[in-house]
Amino acid sequence: MADSFKLNLTHRPRRLRLSPSLRRLTEETVVKPADLIAPLFVVEGKKAPEVIASMPGVFRFSIPDLVKECKALYKLGIPMVALFPKLDAKVKDDLGSASLDSDALILRAVRAIKKAVPYLSVMTDIALDPYTTHGHDGILTAAKNDVDNDRTVSVLVKMAVLHAQSGVDMVAPSDMMDGRVGAIRQALNHAGLDHTAIMAYSAKFASAYYGPFRDAVGTAKVAGKETFSKVTYQLNPANRREALIEVALDEAEGADIIMVKPAGPYLDIIREVREVTQKPVAAYQVSGEYAQIQAAARLGWLDLEKTTHESLVSIKRAGADMILTYFAKQIAPKL
């Protein structure tokens, strides 16, 4: 005998899930190519793109190949790239002096991209870790047990002006030094570069998820040294309120966009930041997040495309307006 039991329900939320068209109509969060920023790595020379073992599908590009990659990304509807240099050890020193070279690799890359793809926005990293022998984001104190905040900011200011003069649309101080956003804004304005925007790495945590990135920019070999710890300037992963203090300071100092990094493990921070600022919010799906999804997919444990999409939806749902992700090129055609 068939079970004739029937609930007398006024509200049946499943009604709006029963067909693909209804599910599309009621979808609350949509990720599109225009929401994505593609981080790219650049190296000297004209060599073929270099594979980064810990980041499958991500490469270090020479400038000619970087330009080709940027053209491809722009055709996919991705509006911005974020550039990171991988430098030869011979140009590095304790002070990160190469960061102030007017013909630095990163600046030549910017000029080449803006000439070839003028409508693609370009953002550059403002920090000293790719340029220093010790791998820190700034200049060390005399005792070499911390970063000299104010001395570092003085270099970052000059670096930001050089980048803006080379044509970047946005500079992104990722160093977490106190006061650097305000100092950079003042210097840009004074140099007549008030049109150059600032995306501040405002809530950047001292995360274990950055390992593959350090492989990509050549700072991984200094990891493990006593002087390598960045906990005196990057945020404690346990601290929520401290992150909101940093966000408020950066906004007051003139940041145009506020960033949270990493993204996936810090969705609660993204949501809180979204609720306390009217500025656009960016989130960086970092190298470790990318690598773990790729690794699990290669082992057959996860569906790569579905997991990638879900990870990006969760970041946007939490409140991010834009996402820096190494999946940008792979996922854009499917959005």
Write out the catalytic residue numbers: 204, 261
How would DSSP label each residue in 248-317? HHHHHHT-SEEEEESSGGGHHHHHHHHHH-SS-EEEEE-HHHHHHHHHHHHTTSS-HHHHHHHHHHHHHH
As a whole number of Å, the end-to-end CA separation of the chain is: 48
Paired tokens of 180: 């650097």
Sign of CA dihedral 101, 102, 108, 110: positive
Contact 105, 84 (CB under 8 A): no
CA angle 219, 223, 224 (to 5 degrees): 170
Residues whose CB is less than 8 angstroms from the CB of residue 101 and which lie 6 or more positions away in sequence, other chains included: 107
Closest CA to 66 of 120, 123, 121, 109: 109
Paired tokens of 273: 């930041």
CA distances from 89 to 84, 98, 132, 159, 218 (A): 15, 11, 9, 19, 9
How many Cα atoms within 13 Å fall on the side-chain side of residue 10? 0
Sign of CA dihedral 34, 37, 38, 42: positive
CA distances from 246 to 6, 178, 258 (A): 55, 9, 10
Closest CA to 182 of 252, 104, 80: 252
Q: What are phi and psi of 49, to 5 degrees?
A: -50, 135
